[in-house]
C-alpha cells in the first residue's frame, strides 16, 4: 500500500472516528447512569445510606430522559447530505425597507456563525435594499457538516421591533424567508441536468404522441359528426318528402271529395 493510499485511508478513518465518537460517548454515559441508578437502588435498602441514595437517585432520574433522547437522536438515520456544503438564500418578505434590513441582519448572523465554525462563505448574488440590508442575497457556505447544521433554518423568520426607519417609535412586524439547500458537485449537477433533459425529452415525446392521438380522435369525431349530420339531413329530406307526398295525397283526396259533393248537390 502506497503513501497516498495510506493517507487517504487515514483521512477516511479519521472522519469515521469523528462521526462515531459522539455516539459512543453518549451511549457509554447512558449505560454508566443506569448502572449508578441500580447501585443506588441497592443502597436504598441500607437505613444509614437510604436518604443520601434517594437524593442521588432522584437527580439521576431527572437527567435520564434527556440522556435517552440525546442517544436516540444520535442513533437516528443521518441525512445523505448531512456533511455537504450548502447554498444559503435570504429573501426579504413583508415589511418593506425594514424587511430588507432584517434580511441583512440574518445574513450577517449566519456569516459570523460560519466564521466561528471555520466555514467559508462565498457570495453568489445580492440585491441591496433602498434603506440598507438586502432584498435578496445568495451565498455558498463551504465546510464539513454545513447542511446538517443549517438545514433547520429554512422557513419564514419574523421580527417585531422599532426599526431605524421609524420616526414615531412604532413597532413594526417584518419577515424574511431563508432557504438552505445542499450544494451539489459538478458530477451530480451533470447527472441532474442529464436526467432533466431526459425527462423533458420524454415529456415532449409523450406530448407529441398525445397530440397526434388527439388529432386522430378529433378527425374521427369530425368524420362521425359529418356522417351523422349527413344521415340526419338524409333522414330529414326523406321525412320531408314523405310528408309532402302524404299532404299531396290528402289534398287530392280532399279535392276529389269536394268534386263528388258538388256533383251530388247538382
pTM for the structure as a whole: 0.51
Predicted pLDDT at 112:
96
Looking at 162-232, which runs of residues are DSSP E strands?
A: 172-182
More confident residue, 241 or 91: 91
Percentage of the chain exceeding pLDDT 90: 36
> Strand 134-142 vs strand 172-182: parallel, antiparallel, or unpaired?
unpaired
86-183 fold: Alpha-Beta Plaits (3.30.70)
What average pLDDT is seen over the chain? Answer: 75
Dist CA 210 CA 200 (whole Å): 15
Report which listed range, 10-14, 181-185, 244-248, is most confident. Answer: 10-14
Domain boundaries defined on the chain = 3-75, 86-183, 185-266
Least-confidence region, from 8-22, 28-42, 61-75: 8-22
- Distance (Å) of CA 156 to CA 87, 93, 124, 125, 173: 17, 9, 21, 20, 13
Amino acid at each position: 500500500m502506497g503513501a497516498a493510499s495510506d493517507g487517504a485511508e487515514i483521512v477516511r478513518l479519521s472522519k469515521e472516528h469523528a462521526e462515531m465518537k459522539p455516539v459512543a460517548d453518549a451511549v457509554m454515559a447512558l449505560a454508566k447512569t443506569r448502572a449508578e441508578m441500580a447501585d443506588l437502588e441497592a443502597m436504598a435498602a441500607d437505613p444509614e445510606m437510604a436518604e443520601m441514595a434517594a437524593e442521588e437517585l432522584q437527580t439521576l432520574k431527572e437527567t435520564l430522559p434527556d440522556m435517552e433522547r440525546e442517544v436516540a437522536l444520535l442513533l437516528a438515520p443521518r441525512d445523505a447530505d448531512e456533511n455537504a456544503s450548502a447554498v444559503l438564500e435570504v429573501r426579504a418578505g413583508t415589511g418593506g425597507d425594514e424587511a430588507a434590513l432584517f434580511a441583512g441582519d440574518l445574513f450577517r448572523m449566519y456569516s459570523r456563525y460560519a466564521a466561528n465554525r471555520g466555514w467559508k462563505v462565498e457570495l453568489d448574488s445580492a440585491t441591496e435594499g433602498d434603506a440598507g440590508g438586502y432584498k435578496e442575497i445568495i451565498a455558498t457556505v463551504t465546510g464539513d457538516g454545513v447542511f446538517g447544521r443549517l438545514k433547520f433554518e429554512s422557513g419564514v423568520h419574523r421580527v417585531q421591533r422599532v426599526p431605524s426607519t421609524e420616526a414615531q417609535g412604532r413597532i413594526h412586524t417584518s419577515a424574511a424567508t431563508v432557504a438552505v439547500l445542499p450544494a451539489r458537485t459538478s458530477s451530480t449537477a451533470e447527472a441532474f441536468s442529464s436526467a432533466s433533459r431526459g425527462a423533458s425529452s420524454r415529456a415532449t415525446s409523450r406530448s407529441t404522441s398525445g397530440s397526434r392521438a388527439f388529432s386522430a380522435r378529433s378527425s374521427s369525431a369530425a368524420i362521425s359528426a359529418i356522417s351523422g349530420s349527413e344521415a340526419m339531413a338524409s333522414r330529414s329530406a326523406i321525412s320531408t318528402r314523405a310528408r309532402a307526398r302524404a299532404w299531396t295525397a290528402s289534398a287530392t283526396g280532399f279535392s276529389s271529395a269536394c268534386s263528388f259533393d258538388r256533383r251530388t248537390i247538382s
